Amino acid sequence: MSNCEYKPGLEGIPATQSSISYVDGQQGILEYRGIRIEDLAEHSNFLETSYLLIWGELPSATELEAFEHEIRYHRRVKYRIRDMMKCFPESGHPMDALQASAAALGLFYSRRALDDPTYIRAAVVRLLAKIPTMVAAFQNIRKGNDPVRPWDDLNYAANFLYMLNEREPDQLAAHVFDVCLTLHAEHTINASTFSAMVTASTLTDPYAVVASAVGTLAGPLHGGANEEVIQTLEEIGSVENVDAYLENCLQRKSKIMGFGHRVYKVKDPRATILQKLAEQLFEKFGRDEYYDIAVALEKAVTEKLGNRGIYANVDFYSGLVYRKLGIPTDLFTPVFAIARVAGWLAHWKEQVEENRIFRPTQIYTGPHDFQYIPIDQRRDF
């Protein structure tokens, strides 16, 4: 029998050392490379934040301009990838389409020169540039339309919104979306990042690393939660139904999507910023019909469960913001992936710099010396 202490989900067990991001769940602090998320949301943008995460420091004006230029140049994807996506079923989930498409990039850029800084930079640029294009392409393809070509005159966030519907987005909408990407870019060793690190530790290519992380993010207990928040608000239907809904959840001991976090025991700082972004959008474009329900639900959950450390997390308000931006519900998680590519690549780069393959142990609970029974002596049950 093993003397190891079993921790379901590896809760509280350090899996690595990292200088990329930091969370204090008791005080509601999130930092990227030591910079508070509130400061980055107010003063930075997604590509500058990505540079910070991946290369460890804020870029100079010249470095940022060069980085942004490379991203714009590499936004387009190979026509064979577009043709492949046209064969995907229209009913398929966009996360499945994204995982397949991200993996397919490795077929075109399969050289694994992990000790070559030029290769590493090229991989970073390609993944950051092409993932949004592939998400938008599948959205158009499944509606029977050709993908919208990237518009080089638009910045990263505005270009994605443009590729979704071939309309130049409002300046406020593009700004809000850029802040959303910054908020979702990184969050220590969450499930998808850990998946990326395990894959990276085998020294495979970064496209496989991102594809594995996308598959992990797709689950409803991780990135898929923001989709389920909207479904919850739809199910509640009105502010008057909030208390009854919550009471029913408590009686059934069912999870309330958008609340609670493995790390945060106070309100997620990203949820606070997202709520303010939602209010900015509502002031300009009209209030979302579900926002009042969301506010009432948050108030009720905080009153009932706040003493247990259960508060709104990043998923609770992000869906309302994306709805107002015109993003379909089943694209919420792919949008999360667009942002989190920055964090995955930062951890990929950090992992391969001092690599050791992940090989955890287990606690065996099965029998020993179990005898093989010939097939003619086995009973049917």
Q: Taking Cα atoms as reference points, which of 29, 23, 65 lies closest to residue 48?
A: 65
CA-nearest of 93, 345, 98 to 220 is: 93
Residue with token string 């300009």: 284
Per the CB < 8 A criterion, the answer to whether 341 and 130 are in contact is: no
Q: Are 159 and 132 in contact (CB under 8 A)?
A: yes
Tracing tokens 């951890």 back to the chain, one arrives at 347
Q: Can you name the residues that pair with 84 across neighbouring β-strands?
A: none
Distance, first Cα to last Cα, the chain: 32
Angle between helices 332-353 and 117-141 (to 10 degrees): 170
Residue among 359, 22, 13 at smallest CA distance from 198 = 359
> Measured between alpha carbons, how far is 101 from 133 in angstroms, rounded to an integer?
11
Angle at 174 between CA 172 and CA 176, to 5 degrees: 65
Burial of 266 per CB tally in 10 Å (0-12, 13-18, 19+): middle
HSE of 193, CA atoms in CB hemisphere, 13 A:
25
Q: Are 237 and 336 in contact (CB under 8 A)?
A: no
Give the three-class secondary structure for 189.
coil
- Where in the sequence numbering do the catalytic residues fall? 261, 315
What is the C-alpha separation between 190 and 171, in angstroms, rounded? 32
Sign of the Cα torsion 128, 131, 137, 143 reads: negative
The region that residue 332 occupies, defined by phi over 0 for left and psi between -120 and 50 for alpha, beta otherwise, is alpha
Q: Do residues 337 and 95 lie in contact, with contact meaning Cβ atoms separated by under 8 Å?
A: yes
d(CA 58, CA 290): 38
